Structure 1
Amino acid sequence: MGFAWLVCAALAGLSGCHRSPPEQQVRKAIEQAAEAARSRDAGALDDLLTADFTMPDSALDRARLLALLRVARLRNEKVSVLLGPIDIETRGERIVARFTVTLGGGGRLIPQRLGVYRVESAWRREGGDWRCYHAQWERTL
């Protein structure tokens, strides 16, 4: 028993012996999404979204959101993303995460979306990863 634990601890980063709790995985995915937006990396953001990702009450859909990042990258526009505290609620096999995000930019494409937003996102496990399948936000400032 002790030897197995030692081997697992030694290889945890490579072997996946220890899996972080779902809440922690979703927090990390949200931070990765923020970093993808900052770096204008549509591919990295796409990896965090389900194929049926929806954003009701938004002028953006999944394809337009990813296209916005691609265009921002081509234009070399700066995107600033500051996350607030993330509140996690587990609902059976799904997770709902609520947080605030402050968006900023330095170009012509992003200014219309600048501001502080209250975000509610819904996550489900696909394969071994948590992916966002629904998000809605409300501008607060």
Structure 2
Amino acid sequence: MRQYGKGRWLAVCVLLALLSACHRSPPEQQVRAAIQQAVEAARSRDAGALDDLLTPDFVMPDSRFDRRRLLGLLRVARLRNEKVSVLLGPVDVEMRGERIVATFTVTLGGGGRLIPERLGVYRVESAWREEGGDWLCYSARWKRTL
């Protein structure tokens, strides 16, 4: 009887572990995590990792950058072995219907000819939507603050 009780307890533990693994975090937390992943992708100059966080129709209104140019900049920075410095400030996340708007400050810098050493501090407003179970950025506006 004791052996049966231990087996049942183990089965319950495994079931609880599986259920918790299937549980998705709230959308706001998913977007915050995606923003942190984008920061890490920029730091490591990993265009592929950043591309995974953007929708195919990603735009940067009022900017000379679009998705292709943004990813190209990271690829060239990697080829030239240039340093990319990214410091993320607090992230504010707001649900707007089925979309999320996340605003934050980011301090960008570099260490080469492509990316200047002191690039500046920017206020970013990014818009996110869920696609295929993942929250992806479809728009970002940057405004230099310093």
TM (norm. structure 2) is: 0.88
Deviation at 1:7, TM superposition (A): 3.0
Letter in 1 for 2:137: C
Sequence identity percentage: 80
TM superposition outliers: structure 1 runs of 4+ over 6 Å: 2-5
Following the alignment from structure 1 to structure 2, what is the Cα–Cα distance between the partners of residues 96 and 34? 17
Alignment pair present for 1:51 and 2:52 = no
The counterpart of 1:18, out of the listed 20, 23, 36, is 23
Q: Which residue of 1 aligns with 2:105?
A: 100
Contact 1:40 1:72 in 2 (8 A): yes
Question: Are 2:145 and 1:140 equivalent residues in the alignment?
Answer: yes
Map of 1:89 onto structure 2: 94
Q: State whether structure 2 residue 80 is matched by structure 1 residue 75.
A: yes
What residue identity is the alignment partner of 2:43?
Answer: R
What are the ranges of 5 or more consecutive residues in structure 1 without an aligned counterpart?
Answer: none
CA distance in 1, matches of 2:118, 2:142: 12
Deviation at 1:17, TM superposition (A): 1.9
Structure 1 residues 5 and 89: CA distance shift in structure 2, 3 A: farther
Q: Which residue pairs with 2:115 in the alignment?
A: 110
Which of 6, 10, 13 is equivalent to 2:13?
A: 6
**8 Å contact kept, 1:79–1:110:** yes
Shift of 1:9: 3.5
SS of alignment partner, residue 111 of structure 1: coil
Q: CA RMSD in A?
A: 2.0
**Is the CA contact (8 Å cut-off) linking 1:53 and 1:132 kept in structure 2?**
yes
In structure 2, the gaps of 5 or more residues are 1-8
The offset of 1:25, in angstroms, is: 0.2
Looking at structure 2, the residues matched to 84 and 64 of structure 1 have their Cα atoms a distance apart, in angstroms, of 24
